[in-house]
Amino acid sequence: MKKYIKLAFIILSCVSMKAQQIPASKQAKPTLILNATAHLGNGEVIENSVIGFKEGKLTIVADATTIRLDMSAYENVIDAKGKHVYPGFIAPNSTIGLVEIDAVKASDDEREIGGMTPNVRSLIAYNSESRIIETARLNGVLLAQITPRGGRITGTSSIVHFDAWTWEDAIIKENDGIHLNFPTTFKRSGWWAEPGTIESNKDYTKQVDEINSFFGKSRVYLAEPSSVKNLIYESMKGLFDGSQILYINANEEKQLIDAIRIGKENGVKRMVVIGGYQAVKVVDLLKANQIGVLIGRVHELPRLDQDDIDQPFKLAKSLTDLGILVGLENSGDMERMNVRNLPFQAGTTVAYGLTKEDALKTITLNTAKILGIDKQVGSLEVGKDATLFISFGDALDMRTNQISKAFIQGRDIVLESHQTELYKKYKEKYNQ
Amino acid sequence: MKRIFLLLFWSVFLTSNINAQEYFPNNESTKSKSSVFIAFTNAKIHVSPSEVIERGTLLIKDGKVIAVGTSVLVPKNAMQINLEGKYIYPSFIDMYTNFGIEVPKTSRSEGNNNPLYDTKRKGYYWNEHIKTEVNASDSFKFDQIKAEEFLKAGFGVVGTHVPDGIARGTGALVLLNNDKETNKFLSTVTTNHFAFTKSQFSNQAYPSSLMGMLALLKQMYHDAKWYKEGNSDYRDASLEALIKNEKIVQIFASEDKLNSLRVAKLGKEFGINYILKGSGNEFERIDEIKKTNAKFIIPINFPDGYDVSDPYQANQMELADLRFWNQAPTNPKSLSENGIIFALTTDKLKKLDDFRTNLLKAIKYGFDKTKALESLTTIPASLLGKSDEIGSLKKGNIGNFLITSGDIFDSKTIIYENWVQGNKFIINDMNLKDIRAEYLLTIGNDNYKLKIDGEINSLKADVKLANDKKVNSKLTLANNWLNLLLKTADTTKTEFHRLTAFVSDTNIISGKAVLANGIETLWSAKKVPVSAETKKEEEKKSEINKVFPVTYPNLPYGNVQKPNQKTILFKNVTVWTNEKEGVLTETDVLIKNGKIASVGKNLADPLALVVDGKGKHLTSGIIDEHSHIAISRGVNESGHNSSAEVTIEDVVNSDDINIYRNLAGGVTTSQLLHGSANPIGGRSAIVRWKWGLAPEEMIFQNSPKFIKFALGENVKQSNWGIQNPTRFPQSRMGVEQVFIDYFTRAQEYDRLWKEYNSQGKMGNLKKPRVDLELQTLAEIINKKRFISCHSYVQSEILGLMRVAEKFNFNVNTFTHILEGYKVADEMKKHGVGASTFSDWWAYKFEVNDAIPYNAALMHKQGLIVAINSDDAEMSRRLNQEAAKTVKYGGVSEEEAWKMVTLNPAKLLHLDDKVGSIKVGKDADVVLWSDNPLSIYAKAEKTLIEGVVYFDKDLDVLKRDEIAKERAEIITQLLQEKNQGMATQPASKKEKVHYHCDTLEE
């Protein structure tokens, strides 16, 4: 009894202090998930599956009806009959952990000033204890690319998982890429309260030239060892040696053409488009340069009145059909709290043409490939991280996205949040 | 240019002294007034647009028409001007200008969010944007340069006013023939002006929105009535001026088709027949415009074509803008063919020169010439009540007229002179020969082709050799002396032949040529018939672009025909009844006369359009309790902490593409709420998304009255970035006091009126002042109006309920209500419903404890719970948002579905009409491809009162039409650019998506 009182005290104090969830301890016991429908993330489905993992890595992913297995090697066996297993969803181009409350400036660490700040690193500001992260985990989003905003070159992103004491613990890939906000060909006039017309951006050529010259200068600087260090140019190195990706935020056809041209001319090895509203118009260019697209928020309005009313819903399908590697990203208004809706954005692409497994790819393996982390995460394949979850039903549909278990690198993570605690607290209120 | 200025002088040879004021000393030899008869003979005289005299005589004296006709007796001492072959027209009138008024420059500091409550003015109306006491004649200063531009464009009289403020005071009528130091008013206080723009001289924040402006005007008229009845203890110069000028012509610059409808409605309420100054988009809602019975002043500032030569830019242009360019020149035609009476104005033209160009364009696009002349002469004269002075050349009228070479609406016609009140203004020399033609030019033995065209005062010559090789040339004609420079054939040298001649016969021009080598010889140019090439060119010029049909609304996805009610039978569909029958499978639903006629198996109707519903789902339409789409110019009247007097019903915008997108998401009804910038917001509009219909037709008939209240961070301006706030309240403590204060005042107000109304005929109580704000609040206390209150944290939720209880009414709905789960029991006791977000949080400090289980918890406590959008994007996916309550808190699918249909219907007190599929209810239904709560479901048909407003198959067709139309208009634009027409850079209009906290100004 005493034990329970103590436990109750701990739980209560957790609630009243509204502390964050405790990160899970390292996977001690080899674990086996049996009989679930496994959605591998690479397009394959195993109806009656066996999924095993040890020390954080997947050791077996197979069909239960055909495989022979030594069960004794797995101390922890979970029967998931009737349930579904998915690889952890990945939220690229995210600011989760950089801002806690949009309107509270003091909680905002997502943007720098200076215009060209590739040296600015998101990782250092990433709050692995953000309460928003807990809510995203509950819907199956277990990984994210933490990306700075603001300026022309916003800075350097890193990829993290969602179960960590510190930002260092969270790293999946540090400094994976540099993000470029490409100038738009149209510019708003007026100010926010009295908007004028949207006029063609007269400075476009100049702005494009500035980017070109910035890349050029970086290249020249890096070509010859310098006694005087320029930290900004130094930080561009990975783009030219292929260790980092250039993420180009662009939606318009002309932007896309210019951005890719500048990247190529300056010897940028790997590029990714973020947004890509008009990417269909430059498919050949994307293919020729093996550029994947992280398409802008699916749950968005068409940009022009005349656009197909389902344009954002069906873009994933259009690009997939044209042979482009497509992932989903979710930047925009209220983007952090919206991270948890990423699976439903993928679900919407199914209503507008993609198959369910192809839609799943857009938030798992495709994204991992685009981000260059597919050797480690993105699908349920032997050797990869055991970052996965079990859902009662189809995780792309709100009604059935109900998660009973989630593992990050084999760690059995807590499926609670500030919100579930409040839920329990107030259920208790009405039971009193 | 120089040439133009040379011609722009006042001819004084006949000028009588009537311009100068009699008591002014002058330096002339005598002070006697010259008073001369002038007779214009043998002209084709347009006495008025409908009365034309061939070979008539116009006799004027002292600036007035003495006689006009074919048998006018010309006095012996009359100056005679023979106008053989020439035409006379009454000069034009522009009744809407700011001629001679210095246009105020902005002095207001931009972005000032601190509302200035008190006015510095003493003795005037409380709101500084009401400037009825202003008289244009007081600040008028004759502008000679501008006057000459007007004269050149054919105008003789203009109306002018001070374009500043919402009520702008009176305008004057000015004659343009001033050549002396005095101001020439035909009349001073002639018109009374209103517009939807605030004064540049005031920092007063109220009104910050269009609905606020409308509310302010209503209150002003109520106050004027009350003032007129002698109820005020104070003098108010603004109201006195308004009252004094109530009988003169009232002009309202509505500047938009929908605003015109709004102003006409305002006028109807207060018995004012405004003349509406439009914007040129009237044709887009011509039926409704016609129904206003209002008279209009219409600009013809047709947009220049867009430069679409860059395809990347072109593909980002809105079709609506391209289409408007294509259709705009038809506006005058559309108005006149619909029998709408209107005057034309030069207002909004970049330069006055464009007036004639655009007028001729309108005529080319079908505007009747007689109507055109009327709209510039007799109509403005009659609108101004001045038909006995201006607008026609009947006897006794002022002698304002134009002398032209022919039909004034023929592009080749030359306007020679503009006479105003007996003063001649020369535009083009009347004696100048019109040599625009084609000639055979012979110099010595050499033959050339010569073509002269261009404007009469800026001729262009095109000279070619017999082998069609072009010869560079330059031609001038002054005082009928022609000079032509011809470059010699030797391209290595810059040498010229000089040709000169006095033109007396335009059929054969001959004179002396001085060749480049100095040899003098003779030359001649003999008129030849118009070449085939020229004819083709002329034909091309007179061709008009194919005009695309107006759609309703005139946007992509609009309908050419407004859709009709149909009898529709859905067969074998899964029906979500929202009634005790629950979800019925394989069921038929018959829609007839806009109602749900029957629900059952094996239904049949011979007239019905049968829709196979196998595998599909039929539900009642989604109702969004909290929406801000389709609102014109401002969702917040943030100028005051209470704005109960404003109403969204005044500013519903039928032309928002999001209406169509909402329909495509299965939404049929929304409550359009005021924003949350102040504790007491404005009244709601409950609308049905009848895509294509006018705003008034979208408003849900007999819907209950609602008002928006708000609590928390927005009303206390937490996130406005104001350094030194001055608007009370700044804390939740103050918010409570605002409510108590206003309700107390409303109670007192209500009592005053009740006492006054019940005193009977013998009573001696003074009539209370109508106060629209307190009247609205009194409706709440009297349970005639319901509150939907934006709310987040439990303390304020509880707080408002307690205030309401104190005043003996209930809050109807807490909207957003993200901490409702914390006080759901208390809400249940109070009897309030909840309309919440499915899963929003983390955007403000006050939503820190927002949880997605909120709806489920409140539902479990027995509250009526709805899921709302507050967002143009989310509103088209409300089915998905409802489904989240299944995930978060385990609400059953049927109950979850009710949260976006029946429950909001209940909250809005509309559940007797909509919200479920029940025989007798309105046929507001949606056919879904799948279970509507599924992420995979799509709306296929959306009906309101039995009319299909969205159909997935039609949508596909519309997409094709959009692409085709775009391509065709872009081709037209490229052709125009190729022809050298003026273009403007590609641009598009900003789309504003309103949320609760969107502020204007």
Q: Give the number of other Cβ atoms within 10 Å of residue A113's Cβ.
A: 8
Nearest residue on chain A to B897, judged by CA atoms? A399
Q: Which of residues B771 and B114 earns the better pLDDT score?
A: B771
To the nearest whole number, what is the mean pLDDT of chain A?
94
Residue for token digits 């970052």?
A: A387
CB contact under 8 A, B955 and A351: no
The architecture in CATH of the region B566-621+915-945 reads Roll (2.30)
* Average pLDDT of span B133-146: 94
**Taking the C-alpha atoms of B772, B778, B779 and B783 in order, what is their torsion angle to the nearest 10 degrees?**
170
Nearest by CB: B959 against A196, A308, A397: A308
Least confident window among A316-320, B52-56, B995-999? B995-999
| pLDDT given for residue B911 in this prediction | 98
Sheet strand arrangement including B295-299: B92-97, B155-160, B167-175, B185-195, B249-253, B275-277, B295-299, B342-345
- What pLDDT does B8 receive? 40
- At B446 the pLDDT is 87
Dist CA B650 CA B683 (whole Å): 10
Is B775 exposed, middle or buried, given 0-12, 13-18 or 19+ CB atoms closer than 10 A?
A: middle
pLDDT of residue B10: 41
**CB atoms B319 and A306 under 8 Å:** yes
Looking at chain B, which residues constitute the CATH 2.40.128 domain(s)? 438-529
Helix count and strand count (H, E) for chain B: 25, 45
Q: Give per-residue pLDDT as tens, B501-555.
A: 999 998 999 999 999 888 999 999 999 998 888 888 888 878 899 999 999 999 9
B331-356 average pLDDT score: 97
* Any B CB within 8 A of A3 CB: no
Outline where DSSP puts E strands in B673-754. 680-683, 685-688, 706-710
CB neighbourhood size of B286 (10 A): 17
Domains and CATH numbers, chain A: 22-86+411-415 (2.30.40.10), 89-184+219-376 (3.20.20.140)
- Architecture of domain B1-24+33-91+391-434 in CATH? Roll (2.30)
B988: confidence class by pLDDT, cuts 50, 70, 90: confident
Tens-digit pLDDT profile for residues B594-613? 999 999 999 999 999 999 99
Checking if the pLDDT of B464 tops 80, the result is yes
Q: In chain B, list all ranges with CATH 2.30.40.10.
A: 1-24+33-91+391-434, 566-621+915-945
| Contact present, B167 and B130 (Cβ < 8 Å) | yes
CB interface of A with B, residues 381-420, below 8 Å: 396-399, 401-402, 419-420
CA dist B873 and A309 (Å) reads 11
The structure tokens listed for B715 are 């009303």
Size of the A and B interface in Cβ pairs below 8 Å: 168
Residue B11 has a pLDDT of 41
State the pLDDT at residue B535: 87
Indicate yes or no: CB of A337 within 8 angstroms of CB of B839.
yes
pLDDT per residue as tens digits for the range A237-284: 999 999 999 999 999 999 999 999 999 999 999 999 999 999 999 999
Interface of A with B in 124-153 (CB under 8 A): 132
- DSSP per-residue letters across B556-585: TT-BSS---B--EEEEEEEEE-SSTT-EEE
Encode pLDDT of B42-65 as tens digits.
999 999 999 999 999 999 999 999
Query: What percentage of chain B exceeds 90 in pLDDT?
Result: 80
Give percent of chain A with pLDDT exceeding 70.
94
Task: Compute the nearest-CA separation of A331 from chain B (Å).
Answer: 14
Q: How many angstroms from the chain centroid is the CA of residue B553? A: 14
For the sheet with A194-200, list strands across it. Answer: A186-191, A194-200, B987-989
For residue A80, pLDDT beyond 50:
yes
Instruction: Note the pTM of the prediction, 2 decimals.
Output: 0.94
The answer to whether the CB atoms of B935 and A397 lie below 8 A apart is yes
Residue type, B940: E
- What is the three-class DSSP state of A306? coil
pLDDT for the residue B120: 78
List the one residue out of B884, B883, B889, B865 whose CA is nearest residue B932. B883
**Which tens digits make up the pLDDT trace of A363-421?**
999 999 999 999 999 999 999 999 999 999 999 999 999 999 999 999 999 999 999 99
Q: What is the pLDDT of residues A401-411, one digit of tens each?
A: 999 999 999 99
* B410, B655, B831 from B433: Cα distances, Å: 18, 53, 88
Task: Check whether A95 has a pLDDT greater than 50.
Answer: yes
Residue B943 has pLDDT above 70, yes or no: yes
At B986 the pLDDT is: 81
Distance between CA atoms of B900 and B897, rounded to whole angstroms?
6
**What is the share, in percent, of chain B residues with pLDDT greater than 70?**
94
Closest Cβ opposite residue A199 in set B884, B959, B987: B987
Closest CA to B756 of B766, B746, B748: B766
* pLDDT number for residue B12: 38
Which distant-in-sequence residues (6+ apart) come within 8 Å of B206 by Cβ? B115, B127, B212, B216, B637, B639, B640
Query: pLDDT band for position B663 (50/70/90)?
Result: very high
Q: What pLDDT is recorded for position B1? A: 42
Q: Tell me, what's the pLDDT at A186?
A: 87
How high is the mean pLDDT of chain B? 92
**Structure ipTM:** 0.95
CATH of domain B438-529: 2.40.128
Given a cut of 80, whether residue B989 has pLDDT beyond it is: no
Q: What is the pLDDT at residue B22?
A: 56
Question: Do residues B650 and B632 touch, judged by C-beta distance below 8 A?
Answer: no
**Min Cα–Cα distance to chain A from B284, Å:** 17
Whether the predicted pLDDT of B629 surpasses 60: yes
pLDDT value at residue B20: 47
Answer whether residue B826 shows pLDDT above 60: yes
- Note whether B500 and B512 are within 8 A (CB): yes
> Can you tell me the distance from the alpha carbon of B230 to that of A231, in angstroms, rounded to the nearest whole number?
78
The band of B14, judged by pLDDT with boundaries at 50, 70 and 90, is: very low
Q: Does A104 touch chain B (CB under 8 A)?
A: yes
Least confident of A391-395, B326-330, B502-506, B928-932: B502-506
pLDDT band at B991 (very low <50, low <70, confident <90, very high): low
Cβ <8 Å between A397 and B110: no
Q: Which residue of B has its CA nearest to A107?
A: B845
Superfamily (CATH) of domain B622-912: Metal-dependent hydrolases (3.20.20.140)
Q: How far apart are CA B885 and CA B31, in angstroms?
A: 94
Nearest to A194 among B843, B884, B1001 (CB): B1001
Q: Is the dihedral of CA B368, B373, B376, B379 positive or negative?
A: negative
Contact yes or no for B114/B206 (Cβ under 8 A): no
Q: How confident is the model at residue B455, as a pLDDT?
A: 84
The pLDDT score that the predictor gives to residue B112 is 52
State whether residue A101 sits within 8 Å of chain B by CB: yes
Query: 3-class DSSP state for residue B47?
Result: strand
How far apart, in whole angstroms, are the C-alpha atoms of residue B191 and residue B96? 10
CB contact under 8 A, A301 and B848: no
Residues A379/A365, Cβ–Cβ less than 8 Å: yes
Highest-confidence segment of A191-200, B31-40, B345-354:
B345-354
Please state, in angstroms and rounded to a whole number, the distance separating the CA atoms of residues B430 and B507: 18
User: Tell me, what's the pLDDT at B7?
Assistant: 40
pLDDT for B108: 55
Q: Where in chain B is the domain with CATH 3.20.20.140?
A: 622-912
Sequential DSSP letters for B961-998: HHHHHHHHHHHHHHHHHHTT--EEE-EEEPP----TT-
Q: State the CB neighbour count (10 A cutoff) for residue B85.
A: 11
| Residues B77-105: tens digit of each pLDDT | 999 999 999 999 999 999 999 999 988 67
Q: What residues of chain A, 47 to 76, have a C-beta less than 8 Å from chain B?
A: none
Å from B620 to nearest chain A CA?
A: 20
